[in-house]
C-alpha cells in the first residue's frame, strides 16, 4: 500500500499557520479543527510543522509568557516528509526512525515539490488494519474453499 492510497481515502485537506503568528493562534486553530498539528507555511511554501506536543513543551518552558511565543520559535527545526509514492511501511519507519532521533506522529506528504497533504500515525494504523482485514478475509475464503480429497479439481 502506498501513501497516496491513504490520501485518496482521507483527502488532501490540511490546515496551516504562518511562522509569524502567535502560538495562541495555532492552538486556537488546532482546537477549532480538532487536529494535533498544523503545517507552517509562508507565501505558499512549506517550512515546517508545529504540533500539540510542541505547544505543551513551550507552555512548560514559558509558563505565563506563552502568549509571547511565535510559531517560528517552537516549530520543528528539521522537517521530515514523505513522498506520495512511498510505501506505508516506509512512512511508518520515518515516524519511528528519522534524522531528528524523535518519534513523530504527523508527516507532510510531498508530490515532487508540491505539498499533497498530511498523514498521521492514526491514518497509517487504520490503513494497515484495513489491509490486514482484507488479506485475512481472502485467506479465510481460500481455506474454506480448499479442494477436498474427493474433488476432481486436482
130 in any annotated domain: yes
Pairing of strands 106-111, 82-83: parallel
Instruction: Record the cell numbers describing residue 133, joined without a space.
Output: 482485514
Q: What is the CATH number of the domain that holds 73?
A: 3.10.580.10
Q: Answer whether residue 114 is part of any domain.
A: yes
**Domain assignment of residue 148, yes or no:** no
pTM for the model: 0.81
Is there a domain that residue 152 lies in? no
What is the average pLDDT score of the chain?
91
Task: Give the three-state DSSP class for 80.
Answer: coil
Does residue 100 form part of some domain? yes
Q: Which domain does 41 fall in, by range?
A: 3-142
Instruction: For residue 105, tell me if it sits in a domain.
Output: yes
pLDDT in tens, 4-39: 999 999 999 999 999 999 999 999 999 999 999 999
Tens digit of pLDDT for each residue in 78-89? 999 999 999 999
Residue 21 located in a structural domain? yes
Run of H or E residues at 95: helix 88-96
**Is 102 inside any structural domain?**
yes
**What is the number of structural domains in the chain?**
1
Return the C-alpha cell found at 32: 477549532
Amino acid at each position: 500500500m502506498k501513501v497516496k492510497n491513504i490520501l485518496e481515502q482521507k483527502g488532501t485537506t490540511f490546515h496551516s499557520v504562518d511562522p509569524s503568528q502567535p502560538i495562541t493562534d495555532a492552538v486556537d486553530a488546532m482546537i477549532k479543527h480538532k487536529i494535533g498539528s498544523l503545517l507552517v507555511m509562508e507565501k505558499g511554501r512549506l517550512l515546517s510543522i508545529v504540533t500539540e506536543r510542541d505547544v505543551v513543551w513551550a507552555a512548560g518552558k514559558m509558563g505565563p509568557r506563552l502568549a509571547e511565543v511565535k510559531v517560528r520559535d517552537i516549530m520543528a527545526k528539521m522537517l521530515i516528509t514523505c513522498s506520495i509514492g512511498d510505501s506505508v511501511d516506509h512512512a511508518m519507519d520515518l515516524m519511528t526512525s528519522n534524522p531528528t532521533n524523535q518519534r513523530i506522529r504527523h508527516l507532510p506528504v510531498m508530490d515532487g515539490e508540491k505539498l499533497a497533504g498530511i498523514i498521521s500515525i492514526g491514518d497509517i494504523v487504520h490503513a494497515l488494519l484495513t489491509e490486514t482485514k482484507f488479506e485475512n478475509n481472502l485467506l479465510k475464503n481460500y481455506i474454506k474453499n480448499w479442494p477436498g480429497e474427493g474433488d476432481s479439481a486436482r
